[in-house]
Amino acid sequence: MSKQIVLFCDFDGTITEKDNIAAIMRRFGPPEAEPLMQKILTQQMSIREGVGQLFAMLPSALKDEIVRFIARDAKIRPGFDQFVRFCDEAGIELLITSGGIDFFVYPILAGFQLENRIYCNGSDFTQERITITWPHRCGEHCSNDCGMCKTTIIRGYDPKRYHRIVIGDSITDLAGAKIADFVIARSLLEQKCKELGLAHQPFATFYDVIHILQNLQVSEEVKLS
Ligand code: MG
Ligand code: ZN
């Protein structure tokens, strides 16, 4: 029986060229933000706890300014528009699985008609400081305190029915990459896939991702719809 492709596509550093949380903190964060970001990257602190603490350093009144900054600063990786259309036309299920926050993920992706396919964290600006909310926390199989738990979403897709492909760039995609059937990777995630011998292909643009998917369909006879 042929399987249906489902894509779990990361946002920061994958769809956008840079990490938006890091960009926001560099621009608006106090000096204490930098060591806190290092703690998250070196896994001394869970992503949920660290990201929550980072945004708690910023006044809610900055919201509009941050959104304007991100709209100017964030660059979408070439070929993304074509990639979204390719998936639609080929009947490939595309999900955006992001550790980012709704108030910058949705504006950047506006115009791609992906609204009901986005999984990311939430935000609350009603208090003096920004509060991050966590509508997609870890399920019973994950104890990493991810915040937005990619593996929990991936596990929701039965591997008997689905060919599960992770697209990502970083350490936050690694747990998902380990349980996926295939990985399309750049940067640190590519390096980790090599080290661990995970089935993967590297990409630089979404034109590359389209080619990889086209070849995969031919070689594995994965059903499209
Ligand atoms: Mg990323
Ligand atoms: Zn988790």
C-alpha neighbours within 13 Å on the C-beta side of residue 72:
8
The reported pLDDT for the residue numbered 64 is 96
Residue 216 has pLDDT above 90, yes or no: no
190 CA from centroid of ligand 1 (Å): 12
| Nearest ligand to the CA atom of 148 | 2
The pTM of this model reads 0.94
Give mean pLDDT, residues 111-127. Answer: 97
Quote the pLDDT of residue 41: 86
Residue 218 Cα to ligand 2 middle (Å): 33
Q: Residue 137: nearest ligand to its CA?
A: 2
Could you give the percent of the chain with pLDDT greater than 90?
A: 92
CB within 5 A of ion ligand 1: which residues? 10, 12-13, 169-170
- Nearest by Cα to 92 from 6, 196, 192, 218: 6
Mean pLDDT of the chain: 95
Phi and psi torsions of 143, nearest 5°:
-120, 25
Q: How far is the CA of 47 from the centre of ligand 2 (A)?
A: 9
CA 40 / ligand 2 centre spacing (Å): 14
Partners of residue 8 on adjacent β-strands: 95, 166
Looking at the predicted structure, is the pLDDT value of residue 223 above 60? Answer: no
Q: Are strands 118-124 and 131-133 parallel, antiparallel or unpaired?
A: antiparallel
Q: How far is the CA of 174 from the centre of ligand 2 (A)?
A: 11
Which superfamily does CATH assign the domain made up of 3-17+75-127+134-223 to?
HAD superfamily/HAD-like (3.40.50.1000)
Per-residue model confidence (pLDDT) at position 187: 97
Task: Work out the number of other CB atoms within 10 angstroms of the CB of residue 86.
Answer: 18
Q: If you search the block for the tokens 């031919």, which residue do you land on?
A: 218
Segments making up each domain of the chain, as ranges: 3-17+75-127+134-223
Q: Of 149 and 41, which is predicted with more confidence? A: 149
Average pLDDT of the segment spanning 66-85:
96
Whole-number Å distance, alpha carbon 118 to ligand 1 midpoint, is 14
Indicate if the pLDDT at residue 62 is higher than 70: yes
Distance 152 CA to ligand 2 centre (A): 6
Kindly state the average pLDDT of the residues 182-207. 98
Q: How far is the CA of 76 from the centre of ligand 1 (A)?
A: 13
For residue 17, the CA-to-ligand 1 centroid distance in Å is 9
Sorting pLDDT into bands at 50, 70 and 90, what band is 1?
A: low
Asked if 142 contacts 151 with a C-beta cutoff of 8 angstroms, the reply is: yes
174-179 mean pLDDT: 96
Can you spell out the DSSP letters for the chain? Answer: ---EEEEEE--TTTTBSS-HHHHHHHHH--TTHHHHHHHHHTTSS-HHHHHHHHHTTSBGGGHHHHHHHHHHH--BPTTHHHHHHHHHHHT-EEEEEEEEEHHHHHHHHTTSS-GGGEEEEEEE-SSSB-EEE-TT---TT--S--SS-HHHHHHTS-TTTEEEEEEE-SGGGHHHHHHSSEEEE-HHHHHHHHHHT--EEE-SSHHHHHHHHHHHHHHH--B--
Q: What is the pLDDT of residue 196?
A: 97
**pLDDT exceeds 50 at position 225:** no
Task: Give the pLDDT mean for 149-154.
Answer: 98
